[in-house]
Structure 1
Amino acid sequence: MIMYMLMLLTAACVSYAATWGARLIGDRLELFSPIRSRDTHSHQVSRLGGLGIFAGFLVALIVASQSFFVKDIFHGNASPWGVLAGAGVIVVVGLADDLLDLRWWVKLIGQSAAASVVAIWGVRMTVIPFVPEPIRVESDIVRIVLTAGLIVTTMNAFNFIDGLDGLAAGVAIIGGVAFFLTAYWVHRNAPLTDYSDLATLLTAVVVGSCVGFLPHNWFPSKIFMGDSGAMLIGLLMASAGIVSTGQITSGLYDRANGIPTIIPILLPFAVLFLPLLDLSLAVVRRTALGRSPWSADRGHLHHKLMDIGYSHRTAVLLMYMWTCILAFGGLAFAVFPWQIVLAVDLLATLVMGLITAWPYLSRRDVQEVR
């Protein structure tokens, strides 16, 4: 745990300092995000924050490769460097989009290229999570296609949810912590001679990079992470999930104090539920209106919260709370009896649903009285 925490702290410190530098460069060169009708900000803000997040990840990964305990992850394993290479590609694509506003199909090609780099030289989807038995994927071509498709989907999900100050970074921190605790707990309680794990390292570094970035991005934001930061987080979270999912058939999750095999299947979806839900609703909404699924609008979940009366900060905090319920509610299945967890999760969901809808319900009651 200590070494993972040191890597998290390294990523946080580097990310904080690098984001500060990116702020200075962006402000000096006036590389500001345009203020559009759908945007929630009213002042000029730079979009170079992805550079700070990437710097935290890059430095922490290099330090990890030379550090006690976690350096074992890199011995005879090219996956970490494949993930780093894919991250570098997506940051370049994201920066180009932030500065030049690329066409959607050009950005999609860039996303596919970054995801393919990870799939070819990094991690691959070897197992399709399925209940009651996971399905093994034997073909390398199918593995690469599945991996790239999952990474592209997750990148776009995080890109879509990045619409309010601190939202995407906070969601990544909460989900990453739940993911980290699960992966670490499993490996510490399994009969292994080497407890180091790439999924645990990736989530620790992602959380650290976002922790360092968040103070600059909290409302009112001093800098945006832009597409480069949002897509980078999506790529790293998806890569960690793929590594974790690939361990299902190894028996690791069965040996760790009887942890249910469904947890590595459930948790990635629970952690990414809000971004993926927002992505799915956006695609359906835009397609139904005869528009491109990649065209921007003001119909995302966080926009809806503000439309019914929540302030900017309150809407972000509500999204945080929903992420906590989903992420840690999924994690709890690994520790407590499923009947108790299910009951608590349903109660928490009901309470949060009422809290979320309260401005709308109260306004409707007032209108009925009038």
Structure 2
Amino acid sequence: MREYLYMALVAAVVTFLLVPLVRRFAIRIGAMPEVRDRDVHTTPTPRLGGLAMYGGLVAALLTTHELPHTGPVLAASNTVVALIVAGGIITFTGFLDDWWGMDPFIKMGGQIAAAGVLVYNGMRLTYIPLPRDWGPPLFLDDLSSAVITILVIVVIINAVNFVDGLDGLASGIVCISAMATWAYSIRLDQVLEDNRINVTAAVMAILIGVCLGFLPHNFHPARIFMGDTGAMLLGLVLGSSLITVTSAADPELIVDVNKFGALIPLLIPLSVLVLPLIDLVTAVVRRTSRGMSPFAPDRGHLHHLLMDLGHSHRRSVLILYAWTFLFAFGLTGMSVLGVPVIFFPLIIVLAVGVLILMAAPRWRSKGSHHAPRGPRWRRRVSPEEDDGGPPTGPMPPIRAESTALR
């Protein structure tokens, strides 16, 4: 566990120290566009925070070879090289988009290229494990494996990018998701091989550190935004966990272990992104139903709706943190305790309860219409002023009776 803490600490410290340098660089090159109608911030804020995140990611990955337990595990795969190269591609793509702007289809090309690097280095879904009652695992041929892997990673990249609309929102949600995935991977590896060292846990520890190192600069009021540079990088690294946590064990063993986790291993990494995925799907439906491009920006994201209900900036972010925590650790706990997958709808019911609580500010605003106004003050008029004569001297003000709003 100390090695995971070490990797997270290196990623956090390097990211934290790089942010001020990146901020000055972003201001110098003009990567701080004017405020748009759909934005919630009121002053131009530099972007490119993802450059600092990439620096923290690379620094932590390069130090893993010195670790006695985690180093050999990562050295046995191409994970370090794959994430550095793929992360570089997605960071450069995001950098150009944040600086100059980029056509959505060109940006998607960069996302596919980055995901393709992971596939080329062996990070791919080779099978889809199923619960024991559903039959044997669904094995994939090379083409299907490559296509599905790239598709899943691109979806997760855009899901994180879609939810990045409030200060500290995307980095906090990804951090919570990484924590849940880390816990699940540790438990899975411990049950299968009586071991707690695995690739997924190592990568998630680094991702947690990157997010924690960036959050102090990004929480409201943010001094820098991660931009597409950081949002797409976080999505790429988090998406890679779905691949590594699934391919880390024999599929037959995964099926046997379903007694402690009737949820399929793919469900955990995907469900921890339930908020970004819901936001992504609803945004596409909303925009296409209006005759707009699915990539056209608007002001209908979940965080916009929360603020329209009357929540403050920070409260909206904390509510969305709670949503992510509920789904991520709820499913992780269900898997570890062996709760059947049929109980998953209970989490949906709990989420609906959270949504009802979100409407509380609106109820309070309705009740405020009947609240009395505070007392009003007026100056007493002297008899001379009443008769039109000159005032004989200043008169002290007195308080009039309070009047209620009618």
> TM-score w.r.t. structure 2 length?
0.84
Q: Which deviates further from its counterpart, 242-251 or 14-23?
A: 242-251
Q: Which deviates further from its counterpart, 182-191 or 272-281?
A: 182-191
Once residues 227 and 137 of structure 1 are traced to their aligned partners in structure 2, the CA distance between those partners, rounded to angstroms, is 34
Change (3 A) 1:14 1:256: farther
Q: Is the 8 A contact 1:302 1:316 kept in 2?
A: yes
Once residues 295 and 135 of structure 1 are traced to their aligned partners in structure 2, the CA distance between those partners, rounded to angstroms, is 39
Indicate yes or no: 2:11 matched with 1:31.
no
The one-character-per-residue Cα deviations of 1:18-38 (angstroms, maximum 9, x if unpaired) are 112111222344321331110
Name the SS for the 1:304 alignment partner. Answer: helix
Indicate yes or no: 2:178 matched with 1:176.
yes
The structure carrying a bigger helix percent of its residues is: 1
Q: Is the 8 A contact 1:253 1:260 kept in 2?
A: no
Indicate yes or no: 2:222 matched with 1:221.
yes
Change (3 A) 1:104 1:350: closer
- Paired amino acid for 2:82: G
**Match runs of 1:32-181 below 5 Å:** 32-131=32-131, 132-133=134-135, 135-181=137-183
The one-character-per-residue Cα deviations of 1:94-131 (angstroms, maximum 9, x if unpaired) are 00000011011111111111111111124101123545
Q: Which deviates further from its counterpart, 183-192 or 339-348?
A: 339-348
The one-character-per-residue Cα deviations of 1:282-329 (angstroms, maximum 9, x if unpaired) are 111111111111111111010110111111111100000000100111
Hey, what does 2:329 align to over in structure 1?
328
Q: Which deviates further from its counterpart, 291-300 or 20-29?
A: 20-29
Once residues 253 and 34 of structure 2 are traced to their aligned partners in structure 1, the CA distance between those partners, rounded to angstroms, is 49
CA shift at 1:158, angstroms? Answer: 0.5
Q: Is the 8 A contact 1:190 1:255 kept in 2?
A: no
**Match runs of 1:248-327 below 5 Å:** 249-253=250-254, 258-327=259-328
- Paired amino acid for 2:207: V
Name the SS for the 2:240 alignment partner. Answer: helix
Hey, what does 2:210 align to over in structure 1?
209
Once residues 350 and 144 of structure 2 are traced to their aligned partners in structure 1, the CA distance between those partners, rounded to angstroms, is 39
Once residues 281 and 116 of structure 1 are traced to their aligned partners in structure 2, the CA distance between those partners, rounded to angstroms, is 27
CA shift at 1:252, angstroms? Answer: 4.7
Once residues 289 and 248 of structure 2 are traced to their aligned partners in structure 1, the CA distance between those partners, rounded to angstroms, is 39
Q: Is the 8 A contact 2:129 2:264 kept in 1?
A: no
Once residues 130 and 142 of structure 1 are traced to their aligned partners in structure 2, the CA distance between those partners, rounded to angstroms, is 17
Change (3 A) 1:219 1:87: same
Change (3 A) 1:76 1:177: closer
Q: Is the 8 A contact 2:10 2:56 kept in 1?
A: yes
> TM-score w.r.t. structure 1 length?
0.92
Hey, what does 1:188 align to over in structure 2?
190
Change (3 A) 1:104 1:347: closer
Once residues 360 and 264 of structure 1 are traced to their aligned partners in structure 2, the CA distance between those partners, rounded to angstroms, is 40
- Paired amino acid for 1:201: A
Q: Which deviates further from its counterpart, 79-88 or 248-257?
A: 248-257
Change (3 A) 1:263 1:143: closer
Once residues 25 and 334 of structure 1 are traced to their aligned partners in structure 2, the CA distance between those partners, rounded to angstroms, is 45
The one-character-per-residue Cα deviations of 1:310-368 (angstroms, maximum 9, x if unpaired) are 11111100000000100111111133362797697466435422211223455567899
Once residues 11 and 22 of structure 2 are traced to their aligned partners in structure 1, the CA distance between those partners, rounded to angstroms, is 16
Once residues 330 and 361 of structure 1 are traced to their aligned partners in structure 2, the CA distance between those partners, rounded to angstroms, is 32
Once residues 182 and 139 of structure 1 are traced to their aligned partners in structure 2, the CA distance between those partners, rounded to angstroms, is 27
CA shift at 1:87, angstroms? Answer: 0.9
Q: Which deviates further from its counterpart, 180-189 or 251-260?
A: 251-260
Q: Is the 8 A contact 2:261 2:338 kept in 1?
A: no
Once residues 43 and 297 of structure 1 are traced to their aligned partners in structure 2, the CA distance between those partners, rounded to angstroms, is 19
Q: Is the 8 A contact 1:267 1:331 kept in 2?
A: yes
The one-character-per-residue Cα deviations of 1:156-178 (angstroms, maximum 9, x if unpaired) are 11000000000000001111111
Unaligned ranges ≥5, structure 2: 371-405
Q: Is the 8 A contact 2:94 2:228 kept in 1?
A: yes
Change (3 A) 1:208 1:268: same
Unaligned ranges ≥5, structure 1: none
CA shift at 1:270, angstroms? Answer: 1.8
